Amino acid sequence: MSETDNRHRVIILGSGPAGLTAALYAARANLAPLVLEGNQPGGQLTITTDVENYPGFPDGILGPALMDSMREQAKRFGAKVRFEQVTSVDFSKPLRVVQTDEGTYRGDALIVATGASAMSLGLESEKQLMGYGVSTCATCDGFFFKGKELVVIGGGDSALEEAIYLTKFATKVTVVHRRDALRASKIMQDRAFAHEQVEFIWDSTLREILGSREEKVRGVVLENVKTGEVTEFPCQGVFIAIGHKPNTGFLKGHIDMDAKGYVVAEEPTTRTNIEGVFACGDVIDSSYRQAVTAAGSGCKAAMDAERWLEAQN
């Protein structure tokens, strides 16, 4: 690859709603952005099934189909999309240098939209049934569990928030926590303890989720960590709420991040502490984490990058 081939006006890292919306806007601004998709093209929505809360789709849309449409829309206006994973960056030079598993790229501006990943327990059954009764997002999937009995794994604010939210749909929600004390804030604990549809199983870990893609979830196998007792617990859905992790390992030491590894943006803009580097979507947001908020944030990043590039001329 020649020096000129690998130079781009805007390079976008990530291909979820934030990255692809940034690509759409940057492409329509004639910046011919390069999108480096990462190892999960389309991002977290590609591991969900129906998306019913993205505006414009009254009958809902499958997550992978929505992301394919976003990619096509960005490409139609000149975005180039490559299935490559960024391994390192160098912001010490006038141009922002990005190293992938296949080559080196230099960008006048860079947009980081690498998202976050819901932490998982690492069980085979959890992986198999993700999107088939197992979820990491109550706001996205709670609606599909009307009249069901659910289990939420975790003991932090997310677990309790999800548990309480899920009672809108489920008849009963049981929070399974590995200790006998919650990590969640006092106010969330009070709310959850007072809720008549929320119950708790303490000192227990999830050993396995029972079910299949055809029949969906029919129960879980729990282990009491104090007694070693293993029991089956019937339920029709499992929400894993043990935290999220921003995908920023490759940025460590190169850009300002908070204690949890989220990139710090100068709100309300998407500027970071590095000139010409912008960040958008879940990689800067531990709070909302919605496709539509990520898309909005991606739009802002492209506009910020465009304005910044114009100011350089």
Closer residue to ligand NAP (CB): 115 or 155:
155
* Number of residues written out for the chain: 313
| Least distance from ligand NAP to the Cβ atom of residue 121, Å | 5
E-strand ranges in the chain read: 7-13, 34-36, 50-51, 61-62, 80-82, 86-90, 96-100, 104-112, 116-118, 134-135, 149-153, 172-176, 198-201, 204-212, 216-224, 230-234, 237-240, 244-246, 277-279
Catalytic residue among 50, 141, 282, 304: 141
Cβ contact 278:21 at 8 Å: no
CB nearer to ligand NAP: pick between 30 and 288: 288
Give the nearest distance from C-beta 222 to ligand NAP in angstroms.
11
- Give me the residues that bind ligand NAP (CB under 6 A), please: 121, 153-159, 161, 178-179, 183, 205, 242-243, 286
Shortest Å, Cβ 89 to ligand NAP = 26
Closer by beta carbon to ligand NAP, 82 or else 191? 191
Task: Between 115 and 276, name the residue whose CB sits nearer to ligand NAP.
Answer: 115
CA dist 20 and 180 (Å) reads 43
- Known catalytic membership, residue 140: yes
DSSP letter for each residue of 278-306: EE-GGGG-SS---HHHHHHHHHHHHHHHH
Least distance CB 242 / ligand NAP (angstroms): 4
Q: How far is the CB of 190 from ligand NAP (least distance, A)?
A: 13
Q: What share of the chain is helix, strand, coil (3-state, %, to 5)?
A: 30, 30, 40
**Residue of 50, 140, 280, 304 with catalytic role:** 140
Can 235 be counted among the known catalytic residues?
A: no
Query: Which pair of structure tokens corresponds to residue 313?
Result: 């001329």
Q: Which is nearer to ligand NAP, 12 or 153 (CB)?
A: 153
Choosing from 50, 108, 137, 235, the catalytic residue is 137
User: For residue 268, which of 256, 254, 280, 283 has the smallest C-alpha distance?
Assistant: 280
User: What is the DSSP pairing of strand 104-112 with strand 277-279?
Assistant: parallel
Known catalytic residues are 137, 140-141
